[in-house]
Amino acid sequence: MLNKKEQRLRRARQTRVRIALQGAVRLQVHRTNLHIYANIISPDGSRVLASASTLEPEVRAQLGGHGKGGNVAAAAIIGKRIAEKARAAGIEKVAFDRSGFKYHGRVKALAEAAREGGLQF
C-alpha cells in the first residue's frame, strides 16, 4: 500500500508524462509547510527558464519576515511574480503541473494569480 507521499508522486509522474507528450512549457509548483516554489521548465525538461519562491529576499520583505511563506497571500505573490518573469522571458502559454497536490488553497491561489498576471493555461 502506498503512503501519502508516494501517492502524490505517482500523480505527479502521470501529469508530467501527459505534459511531455504535449511538448509544452511547464509551470511546476511545489509546496511545503513553510514555503511555495514555482518554476517554468523547458519542454524537454532540461532547463529552468524562470523561477520564484518565498525564499527570495524581495518576497520575504513583502511578506513581513520569517514564517509567512506558507499561506494563500504568499502563494498569490509568487503567482504574480512567476507570471512577470515568464513574460520577461517571452513565455505566454504554459501547462500547469501541480506536482500531485490538490488544486486547492495555496496551489489554486498561485494558479489564479499567474493567470491574472498574463499566463495562459
The listed CATH number (3.30.70.1560, 3.30.420.100, 3.40.50.2000, 1.10.3720.10) that belongs to domain 4-117: 3.30.420.100
Contacts of residue 95, Cβ cutoff 8 Å, sequence gap at least 6: 19, 22, 24, 25, 26, 27, 121
Burial class (CB in 10 A: 0-12, 13-18, 19+), 27: buried
- Whether 65 has a pLDDT exceeding 80, the answer reads no
Specify the 3-state DSSP secondary structure of 55: coil
Could you tell me the residue ranges of all domains in the chain?
A: 4-117
The mean per-residue pLDDT over the stretch 105-119 comes to 97
What pLDDT, on the 0 to 100 scale, is given for residue 67?
75
Note the helical H segments in 1-121.
Answer: 4-22, 57-63, 72-88, 106-116
What pLDDT, on the 0 to 100 scale, is given for residue 2?
86
The mean per-residue pLDDT over the stretch 61-76 comes to 89
Mean pLDDT, the chain, whole residue set: 95
